[in-house]
Amino acid sequence: MKKIIAVISILAILIILFNITLIDFSDFFLEKNTVAIITIIAGFCCLILLRIVRVSNKIKNYNKEK
């Protein structure tokens, strides 16, 4: 499970970085910037969800040890 979470996290970070390069900061409210910004937000949501899964797995393992 740790390897899968790590791979998905790396892919989410790469998606975020790629879409940051697509944003045109001179005219921020263009339509093509909207797609890049939404994808960046989706990447951050993915990272947050993966962090929640990792913490819940740690709690589950901690409870099994007791």
Q: Nearest CA to 18 among 46, 45, 37?
A: 37
The pTM (predicted TM-score) of the whole model is 0.83
Distance CA 9, CA 20 (A): 17
| pLDDT value, residue 45 | 97
Q: What is the mean pLDDT of residues 16-34?
A: 89
The pLDDT score that the predictor gives to residue 55 is 94
Cα angle value 38/18/45 (rounded, 5°): 40
Q: How confident is the model at residue 63 (pLDDT cuts 50, 70, 90)?
A: confident
Could you give the residue ranges of the DSSP H alpha helices within the chain?
2-22, 31-65
Q: Is the pLDDT of residue 66 over 80?
A: no
